[in-house]
Amino acid sequence: MQQGLLPIFFKKSTDAHFPATGQSSPVFTGLSEGSYQVKIVTRCYQIIQPFVMANQSANNIIVGERELCKGDTLDLSPLPVGPLKSIEWKFPDGTTTTDYNLLRNNMTAADNGTYSIKMETLSGCVFTQTVNVTVYEPDVITDSNSYVFCVDEAIQINFNCSDPATTYFMDE
């Protein structure tokens, strides 16, 4: 290896060990789809980074919760697909960011819509995906009556909610 180039090793995630010898180029060719690990070794430390070799038609590269409550933080990230040349997220209003992780604090219903990602690897593979994000407004109980119940009395409360995943709790 030339001076200044670090040895680079790669293996499938299912392999027990990295190979004994590495290569000087960060470009790996001829890999099939699957999960891999890359290891770079310096004199003082080593770095191990997982990545996924996916088919360019892969449509599940965005990870993160897509149904939120008002005030929550949207936190989307892509699956690792190898060394990136570029990454771009697009918001429903058309604005973009090149941050690796998409973080938006204090989400509201105005943030509902389609979010997309476009990633290009150093080897020229382009991955795209769009996801719909929904922000639910909190349910408001409109019954202003006060109720008094006797100890050991059975209580039944009926709620109607627009979000079927909503769970209600009652403090004792």
Q: For the segment 59-93, what is each residue's pLDDT rounded down to a tens digit? A: 678 999 999 988 999 999 998 877 889 999 999 99
Strand ranges (DSSP E) for the chain?
A: 8-12, 34-41, 46-53, 62-63, 67-69, 74-78, 84-90, 96-97, 102-104, 113-121, 126-136
Task: Please write the tens of the pLDDT for every residue from 116-125.
Answer: 999 988 878 8
Residue scoring higher pLDDT (34 or 70): 70
DSSP summary character for residue 144: -
In this predicted structure, what is the pLDDT of residue 45? 83
Residue ranges covered by each domain of the chain: 8-53, 62-136
Confidence of residue 2 (pLDDT cuts 50, 70, 90): very low
DSSP track, 5-24: PPPEEEEETTSSS--SS-BS
Q: Which residue has the higher pLDDT, 9 or 139?
A: 9
- Which amino acid would we find at residue 86? S
CATH architecture of the domain formed by 62-136: Sandwich (2.60)
Cut 0.75: pTM above it: no
Whether residue 157 has pLDDT greater than 80: no
